[in-house]
Amino acid sequence: MRMTEAGTPYLVEGQGPSLVFIHGVLMDHRSWQRQVDALSADFRVVRFDMIGHGSCPDRPGARSLDDFVAQAEDVIQHSCPNEAPVLVGFSMGGLIAQAHAIRYPSGLRGLVLMNAVYDRSPAERASVQARLKNLQQSGMEGVIKAAHERWFRADEISAQPAEIAAILQWMRDGDPVAKTKAYRVFATEDYRTSGKLHQISCPALVMTGDNDKGSPPHMSEALAAEIPDTRLRILECQQHMMLVMAAERVNAALRDFLGALSTT
């Protein structure tokens, strides 16, 4: 594992054009393993842990979206010093990727927003803030129970128990205090990118599942409508954790988008 000067550990696997992956809140770089396995034969894949997650230590004080955007840029500058990479963000990672692409419009070759939140309605904001309160009051197990109910279909629970167990363990691992600080950003700062997506100048792929309750299709449709050069993919019969539960379909969509980038 390599380290940026600012102290973020990151992994580099494979050779080719660079892809930088940002995981979701409460998780870590392990959530991208199926994408690494599928793409590292043809691409240089960079993964890192968000502040306070995995092997990246917490920092004093409260977190803001700016902290995570600065971390992403630090990793990009350190791992891709002579290249504009494709930035791929899942869930909170998708919010960070939006904000990064707005702040650094010429710094990316492409952008992928997967199961990302955008401009929540008052009801959607109340729902995620209730989950934040549950995390603060009941700890990680309360959030895990709620996530299990929202994220997985009954047939997936029966057919893919090992995958689900791994996802829930990623949530348990690490410092819950640090993760709660990050979750507050996820729950309260989605407004920061609203009305600014027209500033994104690179091609984008926006995708979610048709039954993702936290990052529903209308959010991805709004993202695709506002980012100038965007492909939209809504995967049928999928919820939030489709990067693991439907990895083959997700990876095929990624390869299709990346292939189109290589011809432009």
For 15-69, the pLDDT digits (tens) are 999 999 999 999 999 999 999 999 999 999 999 999 999 999 999 999 999 999 9
The parent domain of residue 84 ranges over 2-262
Q: Got the DSSP string for 117-184? A: --S--HHHHHHHHHHHHHHHHH-HHHHHHHHHHHH--HHHHHH-HHHHHHHHHHHHSS-HHHHHHHHH
pLDDT the model gives residue 1: 86
Work out the average pLDDT over 172-180: 97
On whether the CB atoms of residues 183 and 135 are closer than 8 A, the answer is yes
Work out the average pLDDT over 126-142: 95
pLDDT the model gives residue 17: 97
What CATH number is given to the structural domain containing 205? 3.40.50.1820
Residue with tokens 């959030």: 143
Instruction: Using the CB atoms, write b or e for 37-57: b if 16+ within 10 Å.
Output: ebbbeebbbbbbbbbbbbebe
Query: How many whole angstroms separate alpha carbon 69 and alpha carbon 56?
Result: 15
pLDDT the model gives residue 264: 64
Number of domains in the chain: 1
pLDDT in tens, 207-235: 999 999 999 999 999 999 999 999 999 99
Say if residue 244's pLDDT is above 70: yes
